[in-house]
Amino acid sequence: MKRRTSMLATLALAAGLATTTGAAFADTKLRVFSGGSGQRPDLMRKLFDVYQQKNPGVTIDIETGGATSELQRQYLSTVLNAKDSAIDVYMIDIVNPAQYFGAGWLEPLDAYIGAPGTVLKPYLPVYSVSNVVDGKLAAMPAFADAMFMYYRKDLLEKHKIAEPKTWDELAAAARKIQAAEGNPNLQGLSIQGAPIEGAVCTFLLPYWGQGKDFNDPSGKMTLDKPAAVKGLSQWLSMVDQGVIKKNVAEVKTPDTVNEFKAGQVIFAINWGFAWDRFKDDKDSTVSGKVGVMPLPAMAGGKSATCVGGWQWAVSAFSKNKAAAAKLVQFMSSPEASKFLASEGSLLPTYQSVYTDPEVVKSVPWFKDAAEVVIAGRSRPLSKEYGQVSDVIRTTTSAVLARTKTPAEGVDEIEGRLKRVMR
């Protein structure tokens, strides 16, 4: 209780500094879309309450909805396309600033908060790419996420195997443990191969792991086709070795979580929320046995991961843009990031918060997460991200289902996206 009281007091100070005077926005009502349950609207409400207390002229209403990023994107696209002024601030997925800003739906924040180069300097590097569109500050970080490599620490220790640095090393380690354990249901590696957003990352991880870029800073596609084919072939090779299960094209995010919890997986790629499921769920058989490590690279390449997470953006149609921007500034502050990390295990947007003593005491695994998140990369930047995502994830799933070869899949991705990302 003492820690929470202290943190709320720090937040109150930050909230007080977020406006020039307490009456700067007297009698201002703001409506905020705060995502679904996964975005912790309960904790956002606490932050809004602190802000209201220090800025008595401001009233904040909260709207929630959409269980997945895709459903939220559908809803927001409808509302914003209608130029609805009812919602002032939106929580949006990290893949959406370029799309929404390009459509004219977001208010540039430069005039209210400052130039991107200065404002985003304290944050994780990925935000200087994902939240800056055409040189303008399109959104501010709310909280981070990333794909992590979770692994059975107890099994690697038991069989005296070091953390693998490459995918080939991981495959060899998995096969060794599978053979020694003698459990026919024990998977070596679980990835998401169903045609969901996670499959975009499934395509990118071994591609990025060769040091390749999918697009340049302007969003133009820079696909290296041989590297893309090699990346997809890596997954199929691991299927053939028995490391990844044969029906990988059906695997969704919850499947990986549930199978790892049940002790049926040695290595698993999943988002940050999975840690609490492994640690806290009553049906977890792996609590206390889980490690986190950087994702392996391809031979001769470098580790990289998919960054996820959420951003705060101001509607271009808001009638209270200045007040909305000041709220966004507070919700993106180090104090807010620390609060969300300690109280909700939501990944910080500032590198410094990962090693903050209070945060590490509350969420010890964050000290291991920092190295992974700092090396994180943004999915393709495009004003047509919905189309980009659809092409990559459906094609990746088809390759993993072996209805297309890796070469055919890469040809399809290039053919369908070269007109979109140019």
Taking residues 39-65, report their average pLDDT. 94
Lowest mean pLDDT segment, chosen from 61-75, 102-116, 261-275: 61-75
Domain spans, the chain = 2-145+307-376, 149-306+379-417
Distance in angstroms (rounded) separating the CA atoms of residues 76 and 23: 31
Global confidence as pTM:
0.87
Q: Do domains 2-145+307-376 and 149-306+379-417 have the same CATH topology?
A: yes
For CA atoms 362, 365, 368, 372, give the dihedral sign.
Answer: negative
Report how far apart, in Å, the C-alpha atoms of 43 and of each of 186, 349, 399, 414 are.
Answer: 37, 16, 40, 42
Q: Flag whether pLDDT at 216 surpasses 80.
A: yes
Q: Flag whether pLDDT at 5 surpasses 80.
A: no
Which tens digits make up the pLDDT trace of 283-325?
999 999 999 999 999 999 999 999 999 999 999 999 999 999 9
Q: Flag whether pLDDT at 374 surpasses 90.
A: no
Taking residues 202-206, report their average pLDDT. 97
Q: Flag whether pLDDT at 4 surpasses 70.
A: no
Which tens digits make up the pLDDT trace of 225-236?
999 999 999 999
Which tens digits make up the pLDDT trace of 67-104?
777 788 888 888 888 999 999 999 999 999 999 999 99
Rg (CA), the chain: 22
Taking residues 339-348, report their average pLDDT. 94
Taking residues 244-256, report their average pLDDT. 97
Q: Flag whether pLDDT at 17 surpasses 60.
A: no
Identify the pLDDT of residue 133: 92
For CA atoms 232, 235, 237, 240, give the dihedral sign.
Answer: negative
Percentage of the chain exceeding pLDDT 70: 94
Which tens digits make up the pLDDT trace of 179-198?
999 999 999 999 999 999 99
CATH number for the segment(s) 149-306+379-417? 3.40.190.10
Architecture of the domain delimited by 2-145+307-376: 3-Layer(aba) Sandwich (3.40)
**Local confidence band at 16 (pLDDT 50, 70, 90 cut-offs):** low
For CA atoms 183, 189, 192, 194, give the dihedral sign.
Answer: negative
Q: Terminus-to-terminus CA distance in the chain, angstroms?
A: 54
